[in-house]
Structure 1
Amino acid sequence: MSETVLRPGDDLRRPDVPAAAALHLRAFPAFFMASLGAPFLREFYHGFVDDPDAVTVVGRADDGRLLGVVVGTLDPGRFFGRLLRRRGLRFAAVGALAAVRRPRTAVRLLRAVAYRGEVPGDASGALLNSICVDPTAEHAGHGRRLIAAWWDRARERGATSAFLVTDATGNDRVNDFYRRAGWTLVDAYTTPEGRRMNRYRRSVLDRR
């Protein structure tokens, strides 16, 4: 068996999409997007491949296996508008299957499909949508290297700030990760479904 060494640097490529979806399921089995299933996640990750506003970084083991992936966009409104035009019918089809299996997800699914990066308050700059690392490779600094590589790449492409949102409740490990990685908690808000969300920000003015 090869050593587990995550090497960030490559962009997400089309052949990586099934592995990225499977990795997301392993990393976040109890979260909403995972509850929509692998077909929905494959459509989600496909949307970042070759998009002009997408910023993606993957990490691989020495044997080429995908061990980590982080995706985001320089212009959330433009990116998600284009995503709906390009893949909206596919999202609707796979989302309908998920809603049949779990009817309680239907309302949140509609909001997810219509999402354009909006959050309450002053949310400007690039958006980091998702980061996940294979659970077998956690606790070795891989996630911090991945998110640092994503931020470096976003800055190289002109971003001066970025933000992300994550659950505020029952999500201490993830919140701690973002703080340790140099992101600053700027505010919190509650979604229409009652989820409490934290918003983090990163800027070129940060000293870290």
Structure 2
Amino acid sequence: MTETGVVDTEELTGADIHAAAALHVRAFPRFFLSSLGERFLREYYHGFLLDPDAVTVVARTADGALAGIVVGSVRPEAFYRRLLRRRGLRMAVAAAWPALRSPRTALRLLRGIAYRGDVPVAAHGALLSSICVDPAVENTGRGRALIDRWWLRARQQGATSAYLVTDADDNDRVNAFYQRCGWTPVGSYLTREQRRMNCYSITAPADGS
């Protein structure tokens, strides 16, 4: 156990799904996926369970509570196809009420259905889809431990490179975090909502370590 009361990292389990959705909302209260509600997020995180291409890491407190989670996939296009096929209907039903309340949300949701991990910059390999840490244990090194362990497991599943995207504006702390963790900026782009996004990548060492 660490001085922060957080134990070693392990994989996401079915028992974590409700806590993962709640943690996501706490960590990202103003972000799009959070606006779709915990029911939607439970379906989203459930899609990473038992998928052959999924890479998941969680951190727990000493009493077993979820302190952080990172999810992604080594073959994002195939993963998101399966996610849509297996859980698309459940996700759509879960997001129906938020979408009805906001036409803008509905449009973003429709575009999200077609998402396959593609970004309009030169990035390829495994995709780190989401990382969130309980605000109560931020600035304790837990985020770095999670992302490093995720990248290790992605390499163990055959990945030689990986990428992620995050907001470019009003997000200096997060952008600095990824660069401290060894991820390199490879480009920026605007979404249809005019959000400027930064894309970061990382490549496995030539010696495979």
TM-score by length of 2: 0.94
In 2, the alpha carbon distance for the partners of 1:40 and 1:8 equals: 28
- Aligned mates of 2:162, 2:171 — CA distance in 1: 21
Partner of 2:119: 119
CA distance in 1, matches of 2:89, 2:173: 35
**Residue correspondences, number:** 207
Q: Does 1:156 align with 2:159?
A: no
Q: Tell me what 1:32 maps to.
A: 32
Q: 1:166 maps to what in 2?
A: 166
Partner of 2:204: 204
Q: Secondary structure at the match of 2:182?
A: coil
Judged with a 3 Å threshold, the aligned counterparts in structure 2 of structure 1 residues 113 and 178 are, in CA distance, closer, same or farther, namely same
Q: Say if 1:76 and 1:116, in contact at 8 Å, map to a contact too.
A: yes
> 1:119 aligns to what SS in structure 2?
coil
Q: Deviation at 1:122?
A: 2.2
Cα distance, 1:7 vs structure 2: 2.9
What amino acid is the match of 1:29? P
Determine what percentage of the aligned residue pairs are the same residue: 60
Structure 2 partner of 1:94: 94
Is residue 140 of structure 1 aligned with residue 140 of structure 2? yes
Q: CA RMSD in A?
A: 1.8
Identify the residue that residue 83 of structure 1 maps to in structure 2. 83
Is the partner of 1:63 in helix, strand or coil? coil
1:74 equivalent to 2:98? Answer: no
Amino acid across the alignment from 1:180: R
Question: Does the 8 A contact of 1:188 with 1:196 survive in 2?
Answer: yes
CA distance in 2, matches of 1:19, 1:196: 30
Q: Which residue of 2 aligns with 1:21?
A: 21
Task: Tell which deviates more after alignment, 51-60 or 176-185.
Answer: 176-185
Residues 4-19 of structure 1 mapped to structure 2, 5 A cutoff: 4-19=4-19
**What amino acid maps onto 1:134 in structure 2?**
D
How far 1:8 moved relative to its partner? Answer: 3.9
Q: Deviations over 1:185-207 (max 9, x none)?
A: 11001112211110000101389
Partner Cα distance (2:50, 2:193) in 1: 33
Q: Which stretch shows the higher mean deviation, 53-62 or 171-180? A: 171-180
Give the whole-Å Cα distance in 2 for the aligned partners of 1:86 and 1:49: 12
Gaps of 5+ in 1: none
- Taking structure 1 as the reference length, what is the TM-score of the superposition? 0.94
Contact 1:8 1:146 (C-alpha < 8 Å) held by counterparts: no
Equivalent in the alignment of 1:188:
188
CA deviation vs aligned residue, 1:102-151 (integer Å, no higher than 9, x gap):
33211111112221111113221000000000000001110000000000
What SS does the corresponding residue of 1:24 show, helix, strand or coil? helix
Query: Distance in 2 between the 1:92 and 1:82 partners?
Result: 15
Distance 1:194 1:15, change over 3 A: same
Amino acid at match of 1:107: L
Between the aligned partners of 2:7 and 2:49, the Cα distance in structure 1 is 19
Structure 1 runs of 4+ aligned residues shifted over 3 Å read 205-208
One-letter amino acid of the counterpart of residue 72, structure 1: G
SS at 1:166 equivalent: strand
* 1:122 match: secondary structure: coil
